[in-house]
Amino acid sequence: MSTLRTPVRVRWWIFLYTFLFAMLTYLQRNSLSIAAVRIMPELHLSQMQVGWLMETFTVTYMLLQLPGGVLGERIGARAAYIAVGVVAFIATIVTPLAPLLLSGAALFVALVLAQAMMGAANAPVFPVSAGIYEAWFPVSRWSFVNGVSSSGLNLGTALTAPLIVALTAAFGWQGALLWIALPSAPLTAAWAWYGSNTPREHPKVTPAELAELGELAREPKAPLTVARLLRVLTNREVLLLTASYTCMCYAFYLLTTWSFLYLVQERHLSALEGGWLAMLPPIGAAVGAWLGGGLADRLAARFGARWGYRIVPLVTLPLAGVLLLVAIGTGSVYVTVGALTLAFVGVESNEGPYWAATMSVARADTMAAGGVLNTGGNLGGVINIPIIAWLSGHGHWHGAFATGAAFAVVAAALWLLIDADRRIETATLVS
Protein backbone atom coordinates (compact mmCIF):
# COMPACT_ATOMS: atom_id res chain seq x y z
CA MET A 1 0.00 0.00 0.00
CA SER A 2 1.55 3.28 -1.06
CA THR A 3 1.38 6.46 0.94
CA LEU A 4 1.62 10.01 -0.30
CA ARG A 5 4.69 11.87 0.84
CA THR A 6 4.42 15.48 1.91
CA PRO A 7 6.84 17.39 -0.32
CA VAL A 8 9.63 19.34 1.34
CA ARG A 9 8.51 22.94 1.64
CA VAL A 10 10.41 25.36 -0.57
CA ARG A 11 11.27 27.40 2.52
CA TRP A 12 13.51 24.59 3.77
CA TRP A 13 15.47 24.56 0.50
CA ILE A 14 15.83 28.33 0.79
CA PHE A 15 16.99 27.81 4.37
CA LEU A 16 19.59 25.27 3.20
CA TYR A 17 21.20 27.91 1.01
CA THR A 18 21.38 30.39 3.91
CA PHE A 19 22.87 27.66 6.10
CA LEU A 20 25.57 26.86 3.53
CA PHE A 21 26.39 30.54 2.98
CA ALA A 22 26.79 30.98 6.75
CA MET A 23 29.02 27.90 7.03
CA LEU A 24 31.19 28.85 4.06
CA THR A 25 31.64 32.49 5.02
CA TYR A 26 32.81 31.50 8.50
CA LEU A 27 35.17 28.90 7.09
CA GLN A 28 36.73 31.54 4.85
CA ARG A 29 36.83 34.34 7.41
CA ASN A 30 38.37 32.21 10.19
CA SER A 31 41.01 30.65 7.97
CA LEU A 32 43.43 33.52 8.61
CA SER A 33 43.59 32.91 12.37
CA ILE A 34 44.45 29.22 11.77
CA ALA A 35 46.89 29.81 8.92
CA ALA A 36 48.54 32.55 11.01
CA VAL A 37 50.82 29.96 12.63
CA ARG A 38 52.48 29.48 9.22
CA ILE A 39 51.86 32.93 7.75
CA MET A 40 53.65 34.86 10.52
CA PRO A 41 57.13 33.33 10.07
CA GLU A 42 56.90 33.05 6.27
CA LEU A 43 55.72 36.63 5.69
CA HIS A 44 57.58 38.07 8.72
CA LEU A 45 54.41 39.32 10.42
CA SER A 46 54.08 39.83 14.17
CA GLN A 47 51.13 38.51 16.17
CA MET A 48 49.98 42.10 16.60
CA GLN A 49 50.03 42.60 12.83
CA VAL A 50 47.89 39.49 12.40
CA GLY A 51 45.62 40.97 15.06
CA TRP A 52 45.31 44.13 12.95
CA LEU A 53 44.39 42.05 9.90
CA MET A 54 41.62 40.44 11.95
CA GLU A 55 40.62 43.86 13.21
CA THR A 56 40.38 45.17 9.64
CA PHE A 57 37.93 42.44 8.74
CA THR A 58 35.91 42.96 11.89
CA VAL A 59 35.71 46.76 11.63
CA THR A 60 34.67 46.59 7.97
CA TYR A 61 32.20 43.82 8.70
CA MET A 62 30.76 45.80 11.59
CA LEU A 63 30.47 49.13 9.76
CA LEU A 64 28.70 47.55 6.79
CA GLN A 65 26.11 45.55 8.76
CA LEU A 66 23.46 48.25 8.60
CA PRO A 67 24.23 49.20 4.97
CA GLY A 68 24.15 45.48 4.15
CA GLY A 69 20.72 45.08 5.75
CA VAL A 70 19.39 48.21 4.04
CA LEU A 71 20.84 47.04 0.71
CA GLY A 72 19.15 43.67 1.20
CA GLU A 73 15.79 45.37 1.70
CA ARG A 74 16.34 47.53 -1.38
CA ILE A 75 17.66 44.96 -3.89
CA GLY A 76 16.25 41.79 -2.35
CA ALA A 77 17.81 38.69 -0.83
CA ARG A 78 18.53 37.00 -4.17
CA ALA A 79 20.78 39.75 -5.54
CA ALA A 80 22.37 40.37 -2.13
CA TYR A 81 23.52 36.77 -1.75
CA ILE A 82 24.88 36.68 -5.31
CA ALA A 83 27.03 39.70 -4.45
CA VAL A 84 28.17 38.02 -1.23
CA GLY A 85 29.35 34.91 -3.06
CA VAL A 86 31.24 36.74 -5.82
CA VAL A 87 33.04 39.23 -3.58
CA ALA A 88 33.91 36.59 -0.95
CA PHE A 89 35.50 34.41 -3.64
CA ILE A 90 37.68 37.29 -4.84
CA ALA A 91 38.66 38.30 -1.30
CA THR A 92 39.64 34.75 -0.33
CA ILE A 93 42.03 34.26 -3.25
CA VAL A 94 43.75 37.64 -2.86
CA THR A 95 45.44 36.66 0.43
CA PRO A 96 47.34 33.62 -0.90
CA LEU A 97 48.13 35.23 -4.26
CA ALA A 98 49.39 38.59 -2.98
CA PRO A 99 52.76 37.24 -1.66
CA LEU A 100 53.57 36.04 -5.18
CA LEU A 101 53.62 39.63 -6.40
CA LEU A 102 54.32 41.81 -3.37
CA SER A 103 56.50 42.00 -0.27
CA GLY A 104 57.09 44.21 2.73
CA ALA A 105 54.73 47.10 3.38
CA ALA A 106 52.99 46.68 0.01
CA LEU A 107 52.14 43.09 0.88
CA PHE A 108 50.74 44.04 4.28
CA VAL A 109 48.56 46.71 2.64
CA ALA A 110 47.27 44.13 0.15
CA LEU A 111 46.43 41.74 3.00
CA VAL A 112 44.61 44.53 4.83
CA LEU A 113 42.58 45.32 1.70
CA ALA A 114 41.74 41.63 1.24
CA GLN A 115 40.41 41.46 4.79
CA ALA A 116 38.38 44.64 4.21
CA MET A 117 36.90 43.10 1.07
CA MET A 118 36.04 39.92 2.98
CA GLY A 119 34.33 42.03 5.64
CA ALA A 120 32.29 43.81 2.96
CA ALA A 121 31.30 40.50 1.37
CA ASN A 122 30.18 38.91 4.62
CA ALA A 123 28.36 41.93 6.08
CA PRO A 124 24.93 41.36 4.49
CA VAL A 125 24.79 37.61 5.22
CA PHE A 126 23.01 37.53 8.58
CA PRO A 127 20.80 40.64 8.30
CA VAL A 128 19.58 39.35 4.92
CA SER A 129 19.10 35.80 6.19
CA ALA A 130 17.01 37.13 9.10
CA GLY A 131 14.84 38.97 6.58
CA ILE A 132 14.51 35.75 4.58
CA TYR A 133 13.30 33.88 7.69
CA GLU A 134 10.81 36.64 8.53
CA ALA A 135 9.31 36.30 5.06
CA TRP A 136 9.55 32.54 4.60
CA PHE A 137 8.85 31.04 8.06
CA PRO A 138 5.97 31.24 10.54
CA VAL A 139 6.62 33.14 13.78
CA SER A 140 6.65 29.89 15.74
CA ARG A 141 9.88 28.83 13.96
CA TRP A 142 11.84 32.07 13.99
CA SER A 143 14.16 31.29 16.87
CA PHE A 144 14.73 27.74 15.67
CA VAL A 145 15.75 28.64 12.12
CA ASN A 146 18.03 31.42 13.37
CA GLY A 147 19.59 28.99 15.81
CA VAL A 148 20.14 26.31 13.17
CA SER A 149 21.54 28.94 10.80
CA SER A 150 24.01 29.91 13.51
CA SER A 151 24.96 26.25 13.84
CA GLY A 152 26.10 26.55 10.21
CA LEU A 153 28.58 29.28 11.07
CA ASN A 154 29.80 27.21 14.00
CA LEU A 155 30.27 24.14 11.84
CA GLY A 156 32.27 26.34 9.48
CA THR A 157 34.36 27.44 12.44
CA ALA A 158 34.75 23.83 13.61
CA LEU A 159 35.94 22.69 10.19
CA THR A 160 38.39 25.55 9.78
CA ALA A 161 41.18 24.41 12.10
CA PRO A 162 41.53 20.74 11.03
CA LEU A 163 40.80 21.53 7.39
CA ILE A 164 43.32 24.37 7.12
CA VAL A 165 45.94 22.34 9.02
CA ALA A 166 45.41 19.32 6.74
CA LEU A 167 45.32 21.36 3.53
CA THR A 168 48.39 23.32 4.63
CA ALA A 169 50.29 20.09 5.23
CA ALA A 170 49.40 18.97 1.69
CA PHE A 171 49.52 22.21 -0.31
CA GLY A 172 51.03 24.89 1.93
CA TRP A 173 49.02 27.70 3.49
CA GLN A 174 48.54 29.44 0.15
CA GLY A 175 47.14 26.33 -1.48
CA ALA A 176 44.89 25.76 1.53
CA LEU A 177 43.31 29.20 1.20
CA LEU A 178 42.83 28.74 -2.53
CA TRP A 179 41.02 25.43 -1.97
CA ILE A 180 38.53 26.89 0.51
CA ALA A 181 37.69 29.69 -1.95
CA LEU A 182 36.39 27.27 -4.58
CA PRO A 183 32.99 26.30 -3.08
CA SER A 184 31.77 29.90 -3.31
CA ALA A 185 31.37 29.63 -7.07
CA PRO A 186 28.93 26.67 -7.35
CA LEU A 187 26.97 27.78 -4.27
CA THR A 188 26.46 31.28 -5.66
CA ALA A 189 25.47 29.93 -9.08
CA ALA A 190 22.95 27.52 -7.52
CA TRP A 191 21.43 30.32 -5.44
CA ALA A 192 21.15 32.56 -8.49
CA TRP A 193 19.19 29.77 -10.20
CA TYR A 194 16.89 28.77 -7.31
CA GLY A 195 16.61 31.67 -4.86
CA SER A 196 13.93 34.32 -4.74
CA ASN A 197 13.19 37.30 -2.53
CA THR A 198 9.79 36.21 -1.17
CA PRO A 199 7.63 33.07 -1.18
CA ARG A 200 5.02 34.58 -3.49
CA GLU A 201 7.72 35.16 -6.16
CA HIS A 202 8.94 31.55 -6.19
CA PRO A 203 7.30 29.37 -8.85
CA LYS A 204 7.45 26.20 -6.74
CA VAL A 205 5.72 27.58 -3.64
CA THR A 206 2.25 26.04 -3.41
CA PRO A 207 -0.88 27.81 -2.15
CA ALA A 208 -0.80 25.50 0.88
CA GLU A 209 2.72 26.61 1.84
CA LEU A 210 1.82 30.24 1.28
CA ALA A 211 -1.23 29.87 3.51
CA GLU A 212 0.96 28.55 6.33
CA LEU A 213 2.82 31.86 6.37
CA GLY A 214 -0.23 34.12 6.77
CA GLU A 215 -1.42 37.17 4.90
CA LEU A 216 1.85 39.13 5.11
CA ALA A 217 3.68 36.58 2.97
CA ARG A 218 1.24 37.14 0.11
CA GLU A 219 1.48 40.94 0.19
CA PRO A 220 4.26 43.05 -1.36
CA LYS A 221 6.22 44.95 1.29
CA ALA A 222 6.70 48.67 0.94
CA PRO A 223 10.29 49.74 0.22
CA LEU A 224 12.24 50.85 3.26
CA THR A 225 11.95 54.59 3.80
CA VAL A 226 14.20 56.99 5.70
CA ALA A 227 11.47 57.54 8.29
CA ARG A 228 11.13 53.81 8.94
CA LEU A 229 14.89 53.39 9.09
CA LEU A 230 15.11 56.14 11.71
CA ARG A 231 12.44 54.40 13.78
CA VAL A 232 14.51 51.23 13.68
CA LEU A 233 17.69 53.08 14.64
CA THR A 234 16.06 54.78 17.64
CA ASN A 235 13.85 51.94 18.86
CA ARG A 236 14.43 51.13 22.53
CA GLU A 237 14.20 47.35 22.17
CA VAL A 238 16.48 47.22 19.13
CA LEU A 239 19.10 49.30 20.97
CA LEU A 240 18.90 47.18 24.14
CA LEU A 241 19.15 43.96 22.13
CA THR A 242 22.15 45.44 20.33
CA ALA A 243 23.91 46.42 23.56
CA SER A 244 23.38 42.96 25.00
CA TYR A 245 24.48 41.29 21.77
CA THR A 246 27.67 43.38 21.80
CA CYS A 247 28.58 41.91 25.17
CA MET A 248 27.63 38.37 24.18
CA CYS A 249 29.69 38.57 21.01
CA TYR A 250 32.76 39.68 22.94
CA ALA A 251 32.66 36.21 24.51
CA PHE A 252 31.82 34.67 21.13
CA TYR A 253 34.88 36.27 19.47
CA LEU A 254 37.07 35.15 22.34
CA LEU A 255 36.02 31.56 21.78
CA THR A 256 35.86 31.45 18.01
CA THR A 257 38.97 33.50 17.19
CA TRP A 258 41.44 32.75 19.95
CA SER A 259 40.84 29.16 21.14
CA PHE A 260 43.27 27.63 18.63
CA LEU A 261 46.14 29.99 19.48
CA TYR A 262 45.44 29.52 23.21
CA LEU A 263 45.73 25.74 22.90
CA VAL A 264 48.95 26.00 20.88
CA GLN A 265 50.67 28.83 22.77
CA GLU A 266 49.52 28.37 26.36
CA ARG A 267 48.75 24.62 26.44
CA HIS A 268 51.70 23.80 24.14
CA LEU A 269 49.85 21.52 21.76
CA SER A 270 51.10 20.90 18.23
CA ALA A 271 49.25 22.61 15.39
CA LEU A 272 47.64 19.30 14.43
CA GLU A 273 46.55 18.51 18.01
CA GLY A 274 45.36 22.05 18.51
CA GLY A 275 43.44 21.93 15.25
CA TRP A 276 41.49 18.83 16.23
CA LEU A 277 40.84 19.94 19.80
CA ALA A 278 39.91 23.46 18.68
CA MET A 279 37.23 21.78 16.56
CA LEU A 280 35.26 20.67 19.63
CA PRO A 281 34.08 24.05 21.06
CA PRO A 282 32.41 25.21 17.81
CA ILE A 283 30.81 21.79 17.34
CA GLY A 284 29.35 22.21 20.82
CA ALA A 285 28.28 25.72 19.81
CA ALA A 286 26.48 24.33 16.75
CA VAL A 287 24.52 21.95 18.95
CA GLY A 288 23.82 24.73 21.45
CA ALA A 289 22.52 27.11 18.76
CA TRP A 290 20.15 24.44 17.46
CA LEU A 291 18.86 23.46 20.92
CA GLY A 292 18.65 27.02 22.23
CA GLY A 293 16.71 28.20 19.20
CA GLY A 294 14.15 25.42 19.48
CA LEU A 295 13.79 25.86 23.24
CA ALA A 296 13.24 29.62 22.93
CA ASP A 297 10.43 29.04 20.39
CA ARG A 298 8.70 26.69 22.84
CA LEU A 299 9.12 29.14 25.70
CA ALA A 300 7.84 32.04 23.57
CA ALA A 301 4.76 30.02 22.60
CA ARG A 302 4.06 29.34 26.28
CA PHE A 303 5.03 32.61 27.96
CA GLY A 304 4.98 35.15 25.13
CA ALA A 305 7.92 36.77 23.36
CA ARG A 306 8.92 38.98 26.30
CA TRP A 307 9.77 36.17 28.75
CA GLY A 308 10.01 33.34 26.26
CA TYR A 309 13.06 34.84 24.58
CA ARG A 310 14.57 36.02 27.88
CA ILE A 311 14.84 32.74 29.75
CA VAL A 312 17.56 31.06 27.69
CA PRO A 313 20.07 33.97 27.90
CA LEU A 314 19.35 34.61 31.58
CA VAL A 315 20.42 31.04 32.35
CA THR A 316 23.09 30.20 29.81
CA LEU A 317 25.18 33.38 29.60
CA PRO A 318 26.20 33.51 33.29
CA LEU A 319 26.91 29.78 33.10
CA ALA A 320 29.16 30.37 30.10
CA GLY A 321 31.08 33.00 32.08
CA VAL A 322 31.71 30.52 34.89
CA LEU A 323 32.91 27.90 32.40
CA LEU A 324 35.42 30.34 30.89
CA LEU A 325 36.95 30.73 34.34
CA VAL A 326 37.01 26.94 34.78
CA ALA A 327 38.80 26.58 31.43
CA ILE A 328 41.76 28.73 32.51
CA GLY A 329 41.86 27.42 36.08
CA THR A 330 42.45 23.73 35.39
CA GLY A 331 45.74 21.96 34.78
CA SER A 332 44.21 19.43 32.39
CA VAL A 333 44.05 20.36 28.72
CA TYR A 334 41.10 18.02 28.27
CA VAL A 335 39.13 19.69 31.05
CA THR A 336 40.01 23.01 29.44
CA VAL A 337 38.67 21.89 26.07
CA GLY A 338 35.56 20.48 27.74
CA ALA A 339 34.92 23.76 29.59
CA LEU A 340 35.51 25.81 26.44
CA THR A 341 33.10 23.56 24.56
CA LEU A 342 30.36 23.92 27.19
CA ALA A 343 30.98 27.69 27.39
CA PHE A 344 30.51 27.92 23.63
CA VAL A 345 27.30 25.89 23.95
CA GLY A 346 26.07 28.43 26.49
CA VAL A 347 27.00 31.46 24.38
CA GLU A 348 25.64 30.21 21.06
CA SER A 349 22.37 28.87 22.49
CA ASN A 350 21.35 32.55 22.45
CA GLU A 351 21.61 33.26 18.73
CA GLY A 352 18.02 32.18 18.13
CA PRO A 353 16.55 34.30 20.95
CA TYR A 354 18.49 37.44 19.95
CA TRP A 355 17.51 37.29 16.29
CA ALA A 356 13.93 36.13 16.88
CA ALA A 357 13.38 38.93 19.41
CA THR A 358 14.70 41.44 16.86
CA MET A 359 12.39 40.01 14.19
CA SER A 360 9.46 40.17 16.64
CA VAL A 361 10.13 43.87 17.19
CA ALA A 362 10.97 44.87 13.59
CA ARG A 363 8.86 42.52 11.42
CA ALA A 364 9.04 43.73 7.79
CA ASP A 365 12.11 45.84 8.58
CA THR A 366 14.01 42.86 9.95
CA MET A 367 16.98 43.24 7.57
CA ALA A 368 17.61 46.81 8.74
CA ALA A 369 17.10 45.92 12.41
CA GLY A 370 19.29 42.85 11.93
CA GLY A 371 21.96 45.16 10.54
CA VAL A 372 21.79 47.23 13.73
CA LEU A 373 21.91 44.11 15.91
CA ASN A 374 24.87 42.63 14.09
CA THR A 375 26.70 45.97 14.11
CA GLY A 376 26.59 45.69 17.87
CA GLY A 377 27.58 42.05 17.76
CA ASN A 378 30.66 42.83 15.75
CA LEU A 379 31.46 45.84 17.88
CA GLY A 380 32.03 43.14 20.49
CA GLY A 381 34.66 41.71 18.14
CA VAL A 382 36.21 45.11 17.46
CA ILE A 383 36.58 45.60 21.21
CA ASN A 384 37.73 42.03 21.74
CA ILE A 385 40.49 41.68 19.16
CA PRO A 386 42.98 44.36 20.30
CA ILE A 387 42.37 43.53 23.97
CA ILE A 388 42.94 39.80 23.51
CA ALA A 389 45.79 40.33 21.04
CA TRP A 390 47.60 42.51 23.58
CA LEU A 391 46.87 40.25 26.56
CA SER A 392 47.76 37.03 24.73
CA GLY A 393 50.81 38.59 23.12
CA HIS A 394 52.09 39.37 26.63
CA GLY A 395 51.16 35.91 27.94
CA HIS A 396 48.14 37.09 29.98
CA TRP A 397 45.70 34.43 28.80
CA HIS A 398 44.01 34.24 32.23
CA GLY A 399 43.10 37.91 32.04
CA ALA A 400 41.87 37.46 28.48
CA PHE A 401 39.36 34.77 29.46
CA ALA A 402 38.28 36.67 32.58
CA THR A 403 37.19 39.60 30.41
CA GLY A 404 35.01 37.20 28.41
CA ALA A 405 33.31 35.98 31.57
CA ALA A 406 32.51 39.55 32.66
CA PHE A 407 30.99 40.48 29.30
CA ALA A 408 28.79 37.36 29.31
CA VAL A 409 27.28 38.31 32.66
CA VAL A 410 26.53 41.88 31.53
CA ALA A 411 24.87 40.51 28.35
CA ALA A 412 22.51 38.42 30.46
CA ALA A 413 21.62 41.30 32.79
CA LEU A 414 20.55 43.53 29.90
CA TRP A 415 17.88 40.99 28.88
CA LEU A 416 15.89 42.01 31.98
CA LEU A 417 15.19 45.33 30.24
CA ILE A 418 14.18 43.90 26.83
CA ASP A 419 10.54 43.43 25.81
CA ALA A 420 10.22 41.61 22.47
CA ASP A 421 6.44 42.11 22.49
CA ARG A 422 6.89 45.83 21.74
CA ARG A 423 6.80 46.17 17.97
CA ILE A 424 7.92 49.06 15.82
CA GLU A 425 4.52 50.26 14.65
CA THR A 426 5.40 51.11 11.07
CA ALA A 427 7.43 47.96 10.47
CA THR A 428 4.44 45.96 9.25
CA LEU A 429 3.16 48.45 6.66
CA VAL A 430 2.78 47.09 3.14
CA SER A 431 2.00 48.76 -0.15
What are the tens digits of pLDDT across the range 297-320? 999 999 999 999 999 999 999 999
pLDDT of residue 221: 67
In a domain, 430, yes or no: no
* Encoded amino acid at 51, one letter: G
Full 3-state SS string of the chain: CCCCCCCCCHHHHHHHHHHHHHHHHHHHHHHHHHHHHHHHHHHCCCHHHHHHHHHHHHHHHHHCHHHHHHHHHHHCHHHHHHHHHHHHHHHHHHHHHHHHCCCHHHHHHHHHHHHHHHHHHHCCHHHHHHHHHHHHCCHHHHHHHHHHHHHHHHHHHHHHHHHHHHHHHHHHHHHHHHHHHCCHHHHHHHHHHHCCCCHHHCCCCCHHHHHHCCHHHHCCECCCCHHHHHHHHHCHHHHHHHHHHHHHHHHHHHHHHHHHHHHHHCCCCCHHHHHHHCCHHHHHHHHHHHHHHHHHHHHHHHHCHHHHCCHHHHHHHHHHHHHHHHHHHCCCHHHHHHHHHHHHHHHHCCHHHHHHHHHHHHHHHHHHHHHHHHHHHHHHHHHHHHHHHHHHHCCCHHHHHHHHHHHHHHHHHHHHHCCCCCCCHHHHCEC
Tell whether 48 is covered by a domain.
Answer: yes
More reliable by pLDDT, 190 or 270: 190
Q: Give me the CATH number covering residue 85.
A: 1.20.1250.20
Q: Is residue 3 part of a domain?
A: no
Say yes or no to pLDDT of 4 above 50.
no
User: Given this model, what pLDDT does residue 51 score?
Assistant: 80
| Per-residue model confidence as pLDDT tens digits over 261-271 | 777 777 766 65
Q: What is the pLDDT of residue 48?
A: 80
Q: Residue 429 falls within a domain, yes or no?
A: no
Mean pLDDT of 398-411: 94
- 2 occurs within a structural domain: no
Confidence band for 220, pLDDT divided at 50, 70 and 90: low
Domain residues for the domain of 295 are 10-423
Our count of domains for the chain comes to 1
- Report the mean per-residue pLDDT for the chain: 87
Check whether 350 has a pLDDT greater than 80.
yes
pTM over 0.85: no
Residue 14 lies in a domain: yes
Confidence (pLDDT) at 430: 44
Assess if residue 315 is contained within a domain.
yes
**Residue 402, pLDDT score:** 93
306 within some domain: yes
Q: For residue 277, is pLDDT > 70?
A: no
Structure confidence at residue 2 as a pLDDT band (50, 70, 90):
very low
pLDDT score, position 218: 46
Tens digit of pLDDT for each residue in 78-108?
A: 999 999 999 999 998 998 899 888 888 899 9
